[in-house]
Amino acid sequence: MLRRQTSQIYVAQPIYLLLEILVRLFTLGIFSVQGGAKAWFELILVTAALCASGYILWWQVPLLIAAIILATLAAGMFSILAPQYTEAENFANKRISTALQTISEYNLNEISTLSGSRLEQRLEQLHKAQRVFENNPKLVEQISELQSVLININQADHVATERVVVQREAYARQQRKLQELEKQRKEAEERREQAEADQKRQEWKVYQEKLKREAKLKTQHEALRQAAKNKESQAAAEREAWLYEQRKRENFTGGCPPDDRFDPPRCRPGYLIKVTLNKKEDGYDGIIWKPSDKEYDSIVPKWCYSSVQEAANERGRYRFRRPMNSQGKPRP
């Protein structure tokens, strides 16, 4: 009796390990479905446990009755299904191993179609599955069919690792290329900005030189204008001084002496009014002639004035008037 119980305990140990592996594999997305009498037995047993728990919580007699009936039925089924729970070979049956192997082969074939984040997620799942088997080496030794599953998982992990490495290298190359393009873009932008800055500095320099030249030319023009003005003022002052001396010497208060460089002498520019000295009985000393008079060209001037009024206003030694017309009156 003790030997039988020991054998059951020894057999139950890999059973619990297998159940633990299945539960962990289920959390990784690897599923297995078991049907038949065992499934009904487990369903009835779980339902009986739930009814018993409900009776304990709510003290409902129908739940107690259901728990007793279902527990009795489960006990009867267990007497038939007990060998499946006590023999280690049944836990490594073809259905479980075939399902796990099919799933592992599907994952192995699917690896070649994955990329990006999905490939890295699948690689992480494969690493977790490997750790599950690595933590239970005795179970893999006792259930030989799991070795092919482990081989498929290891092979899928190897393929996925290589693809992830290639993918990361490609991503790194792409990032380096993008960084190089961004660097080139920034360098081109910096060169463009530098060229624009140089051009603006050159334009500013040309503008400043232009302002300097304009200021210099303006200064030169101003100096020339001032020099011309000074020269003109000096010439005017010298002319006034000369006229003053000439008028004083000839006893005139206005006008200008004719230019004796010509023969006969001519009135100077600005002084076109001619006067002659021929004393009249009415007290005037000479006649005033203007360019509109028909005798003007034949008249040799004694003195010249800028206007008839200036000649008429002469208050020096001589006095002048216009010639008389046919009516005996001075011409206008």
Residue 138 domain flag: yes
In angstroms, the CA 297 to CA 209 distance is: 59
> For residue range 252-309, what is the model confidence (pLDDT) as tens digits?
999 999 999 998 999 999 999 999 988 776 788 899 999 999 999 999 999 999 999 9
* 30 band by pLDDT with thresholds 50, 70 and 90: very low
Question: In which band, very low, low, confident or very high, does the pLDDT at 139 lie, cut at 50, 70 and 90?
Answer: low
Instruction: Give the number of domains in the chain.
Output: 2
The domain boundary residue, chosen from 173, 191, 224: 173
| 130 and 29 within one domain | yes
| Nearest-angstrom CA–CA distance, 208 and 221 | 19
- Residue 155 and residue 261 in one domain: no
Are residues 52 and 141 located together in one domain of the fold?
A: yes
How are beta strands 286-289 and 320-321 bridged, if at all? parallel
What is the pLDDT at residue 283? 80
- Are residues 166 and 267 both part of a single domain? no
Full domain range(s) for residue 269: 254-332
Is residue 195 a part of any domain in this protein? no
If one compares 114 and 96, the residue with the highest pLDDT of the two is: 114
DSSP string, 154-178: HHHHHHHHHHHHHHHHHHHHHHHHH
Rounded to whole angstroms, how far apart are CA atoms 107 and 154? 11
Q: Which amino acid is at 107?
A: N
Give percent of the chain above pLDDT 70: 65
169 with 302, same domain? no
Given a cut of 50, whether residue 121 has pLDDT beyond it is yes
* Residue 210 within a domain: no
Tell me, yes or no, whether 313 lies in a domain.
Answer: yes
Edge-to-edge strand ranges of the sheet holding 320-321: 303-305, 273-277, 286-289, 320-321
**What are the residues whose beta carbons fall under 8 Å from the beta carbon of 320, sequence distance 6 or more?**
275, 284, 285, 286, 287, 288, 311, 312, 314
Token couple for 319: 């006095």
From 131, 154, 173, the end of a domain falls on 173
End position of a domain, from candidates 142, 173, 204:
173
